[in-house]
Chain A
Amino acid sequence: MQEKDSDSEITTNPVVSNLSRRTRILRKLTFIVPVTVLSLIILMAIFADLAWLGFPDVRLSPYDPVKMSLPDRLTPPFWAEGGSTEHILGTDKMGRDILSRLIFGARISISVSLLVIAITAAVGTILGILGGYLGGRTEAFLMRITDISMAFPPILVAMLLCVSMGPSFVTVVLAISLLGWAPYARLIRGEALRIREEDFIAQARIIGTSPLRTMVRHIFPNIINPLIIVMTLQIGLLIITEATLSFLGVGIPPPAPSWGNMVNDGRNLVDTAWWISTFPGVAIALVVMSGNFFGDWLRDKLDPRLRQL
């Protein structure tokens, strides 16, 4: 680990110092802005309400996200004509407060993404290390499955599961995870293949370290950097996938607010109530962009070799 870090510094530092002031500031901004946005969204997701701490009445959102109020239906945002500051971003066709739904929607998007990342990273890492370190038939077999999984549209698996289990939070997480481990397995296997040839692995083998211990104690610590990079770069992809599923009606079932199903709610009302679909769309784009920028920044910092990702 120690050695690797100093290595990447040597390769990145001269490059950085050659850049103009403007580029350097820009580069800093591509770190600060996304991290701020992501932190804010995560805080929003955590403190949307404090029901999980035992205070169901303490809420960050101005209203209950599923509470309907037909007299207030289709109120525009406060700056538009007919809008009021009571509903800052307006209401949907059932009079539910858009801002409150956005805040609670963040909770769903973030928790789906984090759960899927945890599951897929664990499975992908284990399969990738096994394939890369053991080689031979195991590797050929695992890589075949990985290729197929990467070419299979996750949306179809989600639909299949949705038909049999019905749409739910669990269905979404399961459906995305079922194929989502493949990118990790592919990358980690490549890294494991490379590390396997290093001297310290041969030395470990000579002193009689078991294959399992070698994989856990010697290979795994050396793939942490690429692992973290892929995990971050996956955030955006997962948020979009969840939103797409919910938009198509096979994700988070209504009335629970998800950014995807909110866009769907406003789909047939774009001409009269543009705000219903617009705000969740912007929220998705903002988070995905932040996730991607942060991932890119992290990659340049930790492991510039992985530029292709």
Chain B
Amino acid sequence: MVRFILIRLLQSVIALVGIAMLIFILVRVSGDPALMLATATSTTEDIQQIRVNLGLDKSIPEQFWIFVSDVLKGDLGESLFKKKPVTGMIGAALPNSLKLIIPSWGIAMLGALLLGVLGATRRDGLLDNGVKFVAILGQALPGFWVAIVAVYFFSVRWQLLPTSSMGGIDHYVLPVFTLAFFLLPGMMRLVRSSMMDILDSEYIMLARIKGLPERIIIWKHALRNALIAPLTVAGMLFAMMITGAVVIETVFSWPGIGWILVEGVLARDFPLVQAITIMVAVLVLGINLLVDITYAYIDPRIRYQQT
């Protein structure tokens, strides 16, 4: 097991270097970041000065080396427009994002489990069709549009809730629920299909033959195994969550990571965008690593097969 974890850890580090290289290349695709910082009045000397400040006058391998060593030191540079270290900006925005993501996540997960299980046990019944309909609708309606429509009805028309920004508990209702609605359909479909597979399996049949009450079979025996399903797509769910947070924070002017990211992109603040991307990359690799280790722990076959 230790050997397995070490190998996986090494692979993750290699992957991280690969991603860093990719980010480095992507940011420099256009050739010269100095040109996009230059204003209409910049002279050639100004541009040269920007280039020196950013270290762009050095050779590409040298630039990459500086970039990697800075990242390893935790120095992700300074925002070009706010003139503050980006790590500080991210640190200030992260708690706001978490305050939004965690409750949404909880609501979506609970809803997905409840609806997914009910849908699977009453296959093709009225409730199941309702659940399927919500899933279809939820996957087809763009999250940003749903959020805008919700703002229109709840804030503008009925004046029940504030339209945007952070504040008291009432400021949380719209963003949290729209984000949950964004996350719910995918999770629900997953729980429903894995529940359906499990309910057809032999050990559930055995539990039925044993005469266990249906309630215990479904909510204890089957659900416990169906809960593993979201683990297989933990990575995908994470990607969805980031996308959702970016969109919802933008619509509600919520001062989290997603919001500063969009602001950063519109201002072409590449150190900031680069830093957030690297942070997400580290999280992605971390999640993958955790999922792999959990799996290897649950299923020893994986451990031996892949080392």
Whether a CB of chain B sits under 8 angstroms from the CB of A169 is no
Query: Are A159 and B288 in contact (CB-based, < 8 A)?
Result: no
As a 0/1 sequence over residues 156 to 170 of chain B, the CB contacts with chain A under 8 angstroms (1 = contact) are: 110000000000000
Query: Are A244 and B142 in contact (CB-based, < 8 A)?
Result: yes
B286 → A minimal CB distance (Å): 10
Please report which residues of chain A, range 91-115, place their CB below 8 angstroms from some CB of chain B when the two chains form the complex. Answer: none
Bound state CA distance, A152 and B282, in angstroms? 10
As a 0/1 sequence over residues 208 to 251 of chain A, the CB contacts with chain B under 8 angstroms (1 = contact) are: 00000000000000000000000000001000100110011110
Nearest to B238 among chain A residues (CB) is A151
Query: Are A240 and B136 in contact (CB-based, < 8 A)?
Result: no
Bound state CA distance, A148 and B281, in angstroms? 9
Bound state CA distance, A154 and B240, in angstroms? 9
Query: Are B243 and A165 in contact (CB-based, < 8 A)?
Result: no
Whether a CB of chain A sits under 8 angstroms from the CB of B60 is no
Whether a CB of chain A sits under 8 angstroms from the CB of B96 is no
Please report which residues of chain B, range 250-307, place their CB below 8 angstroms from some CB of chain A when the two chains form the complex. Answer: 250-251, 261-262, 264-266, 268-270, 273-274, 276-277, 280-281, 284-285, 287-288, 306
Q: A160-B27, A248-B246 are in contact. Are A151 and B284 (CB under 8 A)?
A: yes
**A interface majority secondary structure:** helix
Residues of chain B lying within 8 A (CB to CB) of residue A165 = 29-30
Whether a CB of chain B sits under 8 angstroms from the CB of A46 is no
Whether a CB of chain B sits under 8 angstroms from the CB of A308 is yes
B91 → A minimal CB distance (Å): 19
Bound state CA distance, A81 and B106, in angstroms? 44
A303 → B minimal CB distance (Å): 15
Query: Are A277 and B288 in contact (CB-based, < 8 A)?
Result: no
Q: A148-B15, A151-B284, A155-B242 are in contact. Are A249 and B26 (CB under 8 A)?
A: no
Whether a CB of chain A sits under 8 angstroms from the CB of B103 is no
Nearest to A175 among chain B residues (CB) is B26
**B interface majority secondary structure:** helix
Looking at B38-46, B143-151, B199-207, the stretch in contact with chain A turns out to be B143-151
As a 0/1 sequence over residues 184 to 220 of chain A, the CB contacts with chain B under 8 angstroms (1 = contact) are: 0000000000000000000000000000000000000
Residues of chain A lying within 8 A (CB to CB) of residue B239 = 150-154
**Interface hub of A144, A164, A243 (most chain B Cβ within 10 A):** A164
Looking at A48-56, A57-65, A124-132, A267-275, the stretch in contact with chain B turns out to be A267-275
Bound state CA distance, A278 and B269, in angstroms? 32
Looking at A7-15, A82-90, A281-289, the stretch in contact with chain B turns out to be A281-289
Query: Are A244 and B143 in contact (CB-based, < 8 A)?
Result: yes
Please report which residues of chain A, range 148-176, place their CB below 8 angstroms from some CB of chain B when the two chains form the complex. Answer: 148, 150-157, 159-166
Query: Are A148 and B242 in contact (CB-based, < 8 A)?
Result: no
Tell me which of A156, A163, A249, A250 contacts B280 (CB under 8 A). A156
Query: Are A160 and B145 in contact (CB-based, < 8 A)?
Result: no
Bound state CA distance, A248 and B143, in angstroms? 12
Query: Are B141 and A285 in contact (CB-based, < 8 A)?
Result: yes
Whether a CB of chain B sits under 8 angstroms from the CB of A147 is yes
Whether a CB of chain A sits under 8 angstroms from the CB of B28 is yes
Please report which residues of chain A, range 275-309, place their CB below 8 angstroms from some CB of chain B when the two chains form the complex. Answer: 277-278, 281, 284-286, 288-289, 292-293, 307-308
Residues of chain A lying within 8 A (CB to CB) of residue B265 = 159, 162-163, 248-250
Task: Please name the 9 residue pairs, one residue from A and one from B, whose CB atoms are nearest each other, closest first.
Answer: A151-B235, A281-B145, A289-B140, A288-B140, A153-B242, A153-B239, A270-B152, A271-B156, A151-B284
Other than the given A160-B23, A270-B152, 17 more pairs (CB < 8 A) read A148-B284, A153-B243, A157-B277, A159-B261, A160-B273, A160-B277, A166-B36, A243-B144, A244-B143, A248-B246, A248-B262, A249-B265, A260-B142, A286-B140, A288-B139, A288-B140, A289-B136
Residues of B within 8 A of A (CB): 11, 15, 19, 23, 26-30, 33, 36, 136-137, 139-145, 148-149, 151-152, 156-157, 193, 234-236, 238-240, 242-243, 246-247, 250-251, 261-262, 264-266, 268-270, 273-274, 276-277, 280-281, 284-285, 287-288, 306
